[in-house]
Structure 1
Amino acid sequence: MSSTPPLRQPCPPGACDCGREQLHAQSPQAQRILLLTRQEEKRLLERLENLKSLEDLQRLQTKLYEQLGIRVQVAPGYNEVRTMRGFVIELQDQPGLCRKTRQAIPAAIRRGLERNPQVAYRLLDAHDLLGGGGDSPV
Structure 2
Amino acid sequence: MRILRLTRHEEQRLLERLENIQSLADLEKLQQRMHEQLGIRLSIRPSHNEVRTMRGIAIDFAEQPGLCRKTRQSIPAAIRRGLEKQPEIAFRLLDAHDLLRDA
TM-score over 0.5 (shorter chain): yes
Q: Deviation of residue 95 (structure 1)?
A: 1.1
Which protein is bigger by CA-based radius of gyration? 1
Alignment match, 2:50 = 80
Q: How many residue pairs were aligned?
A: 103
Deviations 1:21-64 (A, max 9, x none): xxxxxxxxxx1111110000000000000110000000000000
Aligned mates of 2:2, 2:30 — CA distance in 1: 17
Higher relative contact order (CA 8 A, sep 6+): 2
Deviations 1:84-120 (A, max 9, x none): 0000000112111111000000000000000000100
Alignment match, 1:21 = none
What amino acid does structure 1 have at the position aligned with 2:29? R
Alignment match, 2:32 = 62
What amino acid does structure 2 have at the position aligned with 1:68? L
Aligned mates of 2:47, 2:66 — CA distance in 1: 27
Unaligned runs of 5+ in 1: 1-30
Coordinate RMSD, CA, aligned: 1.1
Aligned mates of 1:48, 1:37 — CA distance in 2: 16
What amino acid does structure 1 have at the position aligned with 2:16? E
Aligned mates of 1:64, 1:99 — CA distance in 2: 17
Aligned mates of 2:58, 2:22 — CA distance in 1: 20
Runs of 4+ that moved beyond 3 A: none
Aligned mates of 1:104, 1:93 — CA distance in 2: 16
Aligned mates of 1:112, 1:93 — CA distance in 2: 24
Could you tell me the TM-score, scaled by structure 1's length? 0.73
1:50 to 2:32 alignment: no
Q: Report sequence identity in percent.
A: 67
